[in-house]
Amino acid sequence: MKCYNHHDRDAFGVCKICGKGLCLECMDKEDDMVICANEHGRRLLSDKILNILFILVGLVCFVTAFAHDFDLFKILLGVISVSIGVGGFKKQKK
Ligand SMILES: [Zn+2]
Ligand SMILES: [Zn+2]
């Protein structure tokens, strides 16, 4: 099998996401998975940042709600944000 991007090079691995053959220059590793460099790496990273942001926003909602006004809307928003963030992390591990 040849690299998807360099037809003159042998592939050293196959992308777990799209199944393309990749040479050493084109492959990247994400949690021990071989993936296309640049193409999926950035997407996985931005997903992680997004999940962390959701959890942070949720925690801020909790803290401000409990520290100040016990606003039920903020508590609800916190629960939803944290569950979206944690759910996103669980989805990625599968
Ligand atoms: Zn790929
Ligand atoms: Zn290549």
Task: Tell whether 62 and 89 lie within a shared domain.
Answer: yes
Q: What is the pLDDT of residue 41?
A: 59
Q: Is the dihedral of CA 24, 12, 43, 94 positive or negative?
A: negative
Task: Tell whether 47 and 89 lie within a shared domain.
Answer: yes
Number of domains in the chain: 2
Distance from C-alpha of 11 to C-alpha of 27, rounded to nearest angstrom: 9
Distance from C-alpha of 85 to C-alpha of 60, rounded to nearest angstrom: 14
Residues of the chain with pLDDT under 50: 94
DSSP letter at 65 equals I
Task: Tell whether 46 and 84 lie within a shared domain.
Answer: yes
Q: What is the pLDDT of residue 93?
A: 53
Distance 64 CA to ligand 1 centre (A): 42
Task: Tell whether 89 and 46 lie within a shared domain.
Answer: yes
Q: What is the pLDDT of residue 38?
A: 76
Task: Tell whether 4 and 26 lie within a shared domain.
Answer: yes
Q: What is the pLDDT of residue 26?
A: 92
Task: Tell whether 55 and 20 lie within a shared domain.
Answer: no
> Residue for token digits 């801020």?
60
Task: Tell whether 32 and 52 lie within a shared domain.
Answer: no
Domain hosting residue 49, numbered range: 42-93
Distance from C-alpha of 19 to C-alpha of 35, rounded to nearest angstrom: 9
Distance 84 CA to ligand 1 centre (A): 26
Distance 2 CA to ligand 2 centre (A): 8
Distance 38 CA to ligand 1 centre (A): 9
